[in-house]
């Protein structure tokens, strides 16, 4: 007899239980507080927390990830700068993984924000952290100019700090960047530093050392030192065999194959290149394509044109599937494939195909040369711009510090003055009990002191107002005059000076001469016996200052300014109907 089927009610009950269990598991809350704590800790070389956070997003869709990051950012709004940088890093990392090879336009604003926040802290390790993220992200998109610029900044900052475990990784990664920008000597320098620091015998570090040694071999080959290249290929291959890393065996085999090809030892070259292709065709398509290229060239020289054509077509197919992630490296390999194609059709005596591939080769070669030239200039410009931004940030901080110091000095001065007044008043009040007449005199004296203090305070305030007015006037002149950028900066700085000592005058004169070269020499030529005081008055007249502003800068009275101006007019033999300001302007033109 057949068993009785379960009832509908039992089926529904089982289904409901499964749904409830699934819902309970799915509803487990994301540990926000734990991640805020983790992202807040660690040094500027620690990326582990960010990597693990991003990996925890694998089971979420993009909307869930964005929401989770927003919650984390809100929860950690009062956390320190390390958290702020790492949450931005997590956003950048996720966007890259989610949008690769596209979406760089979404990353740039986040990278810029990360750099600005790091620079604002003034902490080297955080600036290095943000710079490295910027550079490495740009490298992943083959934007070599910002990649090298920001990565170099990070490495130079890390070098000023105590040596840490992963420094060899930064050196090697930067050395790899330099190799792809044809900076082979510098690439060797940083890669050798990486090898010297990579002393850990763990398998992962030995695999990294295999890569470092291979990079050195490639650099020496490009520098025309094949024996040194072969030595480092051997070292890399020996280590790859020791750790059993198949891919690096294949990569080294490809480099050995090319080395034998250059030496016209085609039999070992073919063996190495075939092994490299078979080993790398799935995971390292660029290496596989490069191996086929040299196999094709060997076959062309041996008259095996059908095999050569097949190898070259397969190489192009591999590059097509690999190129969207590595456009610059692929372009170099594609150029060489086009050259081999042209050679193949020359041997086959097919002029139309020969011309076609020669043109494609020439066009790609010219494009790569332009990229190399532009890369060098752009790296230089980016570094200059980066240094300029740092200078402006430091100048802003210094200006704020000076303003705070000045404000604190004023507050202390006023507080001391208030204390003195209180003490004097208390003393006078005690004296009133003993001698009424003396108290009246003391009160009068106190009143006079208070009035004098008030006049001084008013004079100080008036001086600040005059300085502010002078700054606005000079800024207006800067906008209207066609001066160089450096002259404009100097002219603005003149407005902050007072000329009370000989050092003040020398500083003012040097700056003034940069804005109006030869001004004082022309005055001397017109009037050899002109005094220093008259030269100062001429310079301030050229700046179109008011009488009060001149008095404030020189620390003299308005009457003294009038007298000095009259002496200057007499010294220069200027008639009363001639405008002194216009005369002085003519001297400086």
What does the alpha-carbon distance between residue 27 and residue 29 come to, in Å, rounded to a whole number? 6
Residues 6+ apart with CB under 8 A from 530: 523, 524, 538, 568, 571, 572
Task: Give residue 432's pLDDT.
Answer: 63
Which tokens belong to 512?
Answer: 């003034």
Crossing angle of helices 32-40 and 81-99, rounded to 10°? 110
Backbone Cα Rg of the chain? 38
Average pLDDT over residues 99-114: 78
Average pLDDT over residues 449-469: 51
Q: Nearest-CA neighbor of 336 among 372, 375, 291? A: 291
Average pLDDT over residues 316-343: 79
Residues 6+ apart with CB under 8 A from 44: 82, 123, 124, 125, 126, 128, 129
> What is the 3-state secondary structure of 1-13?
CCCCCCCHHHHHH
What does the alpha-carbon distance between residue 409 and residue 414 come to, in Å, rounded to a whole number? 9
Average pLDDT over residues 220-244: 88
Residues 6+ apart with CB under 8 A from 178: 148, 184, 186, 187, 190
Do residues 226 and 262 lie in contact, with contact meaning Cβ atoms separated by under 8 Å?
yes
Q: Nearest-CA neighbor of 556 among 500, 508, 505, 504? A: 500
The larger pLDDT score, comparing residue 268 to residue 26, is at 268
The larger pLDDT score, comparing residue 95 to residue 130, is at 130
Task: Give residue 35's pLDDT.
Answer: 87
Which tokens belong to 19?
Answer: 């749904």
Which tokens belong to 39?
Answer: 């992202």
Task: Give residue 291's pLDDT.
Answer: 92
Which tokens belong to 158?
Answer: 């890390």
Task: Give residue 270's pLDDT.
Answer: 93
What does the alpha-carbon distance between residue 237 and residue 309 come to, in Å, rounded to a whole number? 30
What does the alpha-carbon distance between residue 218 and residue 55 come to, in Å, rounded to a whole number? 34
Residue in this structure with the two tokens 């190898």, named with its chain if needed: 311
Q: Which domains does the chain have, with CATH numbers?
A: 245-349 (1.25.40), 470-588 (no CATH)
- On the question of pLDDT at 378 being above 60, the answer is no
- On the question of pLDDT at 6 being above 60, the answer is no
The DSSP secondary-structure symbol of 59 reads: G
CB count in 10 Å sphere of residue 105 = 8
Task: Give residue 473's pLDDT.
Answer: 62
Task: Give residue 189's pLDDT.
Answer: 94
Phi/psi of residue 218, each to 5°?
Answer: -65, -40
- On the question of pLDDT at 491 being above 50, the answer is yes
CB count in 10 Å sphere of residue 398 = 10
Do residues 154 and 44 lie in contact, with contact meaning Cβ atoms separated by under 8 Å?
no
Average pLDDT over residues 116-132: 90
Span of 175-189, 260-274, 466-480 with lowest mean pLDDT: 466-480
DSSP codes of every residue in 293-349: HHHHHHHHHTT-HHHHHHHHHHHHHHHHHHTTT-HHHHHHHHHHHHHHHHHHHHHTT
The larger pLDDT score, comparing residue 435 to residue 299, is at 299
Do residues 44 and 81 lie in contact, with contact meaning Cβ atoms separated by under 8 Å?
no
Q: Which pLDDT band, with edges at 50, 70 and 90, does 14 fall under? A: very low
Task: Give residue 188's pLDDT.
Answer: 94
Q: Nearest-CA neighbor of 299 among 332, 270, 339, 265? A: 270
CB count in 10 Å sphere of residue 506 = 11
Task: Give residue 414's pLDDT.
Answer: 81
Continuous segment of H or E residues that includes residue 151 = helix 144-159
CB count in 10 Å sphere of residue 401 = 10
Task: Give residue 582's pLDDT.
Answer: 87
Residue in this structure with the two tokens 């290249």, named with its chain if needed: 229
Do residues 272 and 250 lie in contact, with contact meaning Cβ atoms separated by under 8 Å?
no
What does the alpha-carbon distance between residue 194 and residue 159 come to, in Å, rounded to a whole number? 12
- On the question of pLDDT at 183 being above 60, the answer is yes
Question: Helix or strand or coil: residue 80?
Answer: coil
Q: Give the best-scoring range by mean pLDDT among 55-59, 289-293, 321-325, 438-442.
A: 289-293
- On the question of pLDDT at 109 being above 80, the answer is yes
Which tokens belong to 231?
Answer: 């030595």
- On the question of pLDDT at 391 being above 80, the answer is no
Which tokens belong to 136?
Answer: 């490495």
Task: Give residue 54's pLDDT.
Answer: 86
Residue in this structure with the two tokens 């693990």, named with its chain if needed: 52
Do residues 117 and 84 lie in contact, with contact meaning Cβ atoms separated by under 8 Å?
yes
Continuous segment of H or E residues that includes residue 558 = helix 558-571
- On the question of pLDDT at 268 being above 90, the answer is yes
- Claim: this prediction has a pTM higher than 0.85: no
Q: Nearest-CA neighbor of 31 among 48, 50, 53? A: 53
Task: Give residue 150's pLDDT.
Answer: 92
Do residues 91 and 54 lie in contact, with contact meaning Cβ atoms separated by under 8 Å?
no
Give the CA diameter of the chain: 136
The larger pLDDT score, comparing residue 339 to residue 97, is at 339
Which tokens belong to 473?
Answer: 């006037």
Task: Give residue 314's pLDDT.
Answer: 92
Distances (CA, A) of 368 to 128, 179, 329: 31, 15, 10
| Mean pLDDT for the chain overall | 79
Helix residue ranges per DSSP H, 76-123 = 81-99, 104-121
Q: Nearest-CA neighbor of 499 among 465, 549, 563? A: 549
The DSSP secondary-structure symbol of 481 reads: S
Q: Which pLDDT band, with edges at 50, 70 and 90, does 19 fall under? A: very low
The DSSP secondary-structure symbol of 28 reads: P
What does the alpha-carbon distance between residue 245 and residue 214 come to, in Å, rounded to a whole number? 14
Task: Give residue 8's pLDDT.
Answer: 45
């Amino acid at each position: 007899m057949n068993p009785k089927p379960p009832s509908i009610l039992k089926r529904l009950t089982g289904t409901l239980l499964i749904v409830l269990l699934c819902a309970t598991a799915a509803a487990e809350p994301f540990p926000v507080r734990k991640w805020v704590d983790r992202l807040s800790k660690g040094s500027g070389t620690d990326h582990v927390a960010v990597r693990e956070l991003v990996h925890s997003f694998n089971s979420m869709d993009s909307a869930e990830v964005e929401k989770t990051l927003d919650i984390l950012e809100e929860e950690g709004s009062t956390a320190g700068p390390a958290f702020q940088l790492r949450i931005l890093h997590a956003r950048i990392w996720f966007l890259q993984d989610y949008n690769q090879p596209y979406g760089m336009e979404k990353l740039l604003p986040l990278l810029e924000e990360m750099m600005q926040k790091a620079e604002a802290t003034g902490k080297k390790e955080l600036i290095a952290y943000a710079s490295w993220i910027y550079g490495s992200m740009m490298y992943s998109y083959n934007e070599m100019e910002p990649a090298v610029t920001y990565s170099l900044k990070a490495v130079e900052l890390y070098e000023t700090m105590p040596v840490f475990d992963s420094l060899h990784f930064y050196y090697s990664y930067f050395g790899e960047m330099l190799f792809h920008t044809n900076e082979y000597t510098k690439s060797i320098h940083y890669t050798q530093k990486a090898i010297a620091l990579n002393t850990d015998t763990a398998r992962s570090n030995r695999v990294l050392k295999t890569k470092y040694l291979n990079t050195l071999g490639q650099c020496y080959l490009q520098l025309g030192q094949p024996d040194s290249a072969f030595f480092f290929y051997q070292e890399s291959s020996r280590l790859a065999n020791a750790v059993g890393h198949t891919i690096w065996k294949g990569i080294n085999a490809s480099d050995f194959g090319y080395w034998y090809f250059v030496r016209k030892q085609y039999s070992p070259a073919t063996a190495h290149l075939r092994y490299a292709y078979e080993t790398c065709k799935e995971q390292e398509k660029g290496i596989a394509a490069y191996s086929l290229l040299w196999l094709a060239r060997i076959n062309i020289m041996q008259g095996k044109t059908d095999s050569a054509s097949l190898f070259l077509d397969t190489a192009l197919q591999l590059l097509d599937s690999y190129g969207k992630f590595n456009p610059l490296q692929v372009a170099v390999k594609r150029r060489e494939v086009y050259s081999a194609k042209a050679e193949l059709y020359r041997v086959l005596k097919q002029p139309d195909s020969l011309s076609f591939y020669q043109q494609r080769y020439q066009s790609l070669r010219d494009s790569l040369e332009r990229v190399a030239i532009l890369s060098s200039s752009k790296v230089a410009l980016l570094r200059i711009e980066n240094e300029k931004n740092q200078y402006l940030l430091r100048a802003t901080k210094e200006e704020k510090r000076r303003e705070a110091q000045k404000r604190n000095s004023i507050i202390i001065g006023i507080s001391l003055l208030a204390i003195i007044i209180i003490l004097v008043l208390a003393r006078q009040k005690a004296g009133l009990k003993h001698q009424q007449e003396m108290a009246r005199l003391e009160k009068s004296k106190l009143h006079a002191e208070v009035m004098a203090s008030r006049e001084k305070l008013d004079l100080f305030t008036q001086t600040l107002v005059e300085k502010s007015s002078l700054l606005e006037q000079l800024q207006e002149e800067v906008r209207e005059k066609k001066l160089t950028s450096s002259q404009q900066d100097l002219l603005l700085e003149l407005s902050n000076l007072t000329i009370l000592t000989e050092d003040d005058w020398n500083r003012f004169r040097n700056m003034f001469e940069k804005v109006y070269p030869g001004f004082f020499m022309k005055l001397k030529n017109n009037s050899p016996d002109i005094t220093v005081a008259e030269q100062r008055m001429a310079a301030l007249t050229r700046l179109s200052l008011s009488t009060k502003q001149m008095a404030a800068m020189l620390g003299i009275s308005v009457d003294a300014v009038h007298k000095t101006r009259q002496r200057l007019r007499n010294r220069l033999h200027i008639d009363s109907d001639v405008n002194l300001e216009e005369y002085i302007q003519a001297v400086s033109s």
